[in-house]
Amino acid sequence: MNNKIKFSLLVILAVIISCAKNPFTGKRTLALPGTENSSLFPMVFTQYDQFLSENKVVTGTADAKRIATIGEKIKVAAERYLNANGNAGYLKDYQWEYNLVDDPTVNAWCMPGGKIVFYTGILPICKDDAGIAAVMGHEVAHALANHGQQRMSAGLLQQIGQVGVAVAVGDKDPQTQNAIMQAYGIGSQLGGMLPFSRAHESEADMIGIYLMAIAGYEPSNAVGVWERMSAMSNGQAPPEILSTHPSNETRIKNLTALVPQAKVEAAKFGVTFK
């Protein structure tokens, strides 16, 4: 068996044995060794603290309190969902924190382990508590679904693939080697990493709208957030195929379709909407 075949078999074996089950979707997800929460969380928590030390954190204001209060409600909703579906203790290593940062950027994010930041710039898009809950649910969903771990694993696989291609073309002339390596880079990005990222965003939209509904927020407000986001962008966005995120139109369509199911999920926990 030559080295190229051995390398391919090792990569396939690594992918097969390095999977974890997503408790929200039931799907097997990529989790290569070295990306486990026990390794990832301490590093992330340190990065989060450093970020806060280097940015203007808003404290004591009504908006800062709203972020913390709504964040707690979404966290409780996640706990209720996980406990009810046989995943009690799933969040035991999470260290939840919700901070508002004075920055005009229209963004919010959640690091693995429950470290959340909202920028003041996204509050007008959120508009109200339900809008904040929609964004909070989406960001929390990334952490709950271990998307950070999966992105790290995918990045490692991309690097391993690059090494494999280099081995495979090692006997080619330099010009051919360079052309093949460039084709691999473009192909793995357009055909692998970007669709992978878009799938994460859609998955976070689904989990997030369920969580906001279980927390008591009318799920249709998630659609309103993305309608306002779309209006703000004024059509200035890259084609979906070249983006890490689904288009605003795709998200609006998907979220609209998810609203009825989100209400069904909420009803399981005694939360109903008129």
Question: Which residues are tagged catalytic?
Answer: 139
DSSP string, 124-179: HHH-SHHHHHHHHHHHHHHHHTTHHHHHHHHHHHHHHHHHHHHHHTTTS-HHHHHH
Whole-number Å distance between alpha carbons of 178 and 184: 10
Whole-number Å distance between alpha carbons of 32 and 96: 24
Whole-number Å distance between alpha carbons of 212 and 138: 9
Q: Which of 212, 223, 220 is nearest to 251 (CA)?
A: 223
Neighbours of 137 (CB within 10 A): 31
Helix, strand, coil proportions of the chain in percent (round to 5)?
65, 10, 25
Q: Tokens in use for 176?
A: 């051919």
Q: Which residues pair with 92 in a beta bridge?
A: none
Say if residues 13 and 2 touch (Cβ distance below 8 Å): no
By residue count, the chain amounts to 274
Q: Tokens in use for 10?
A: 């090792």
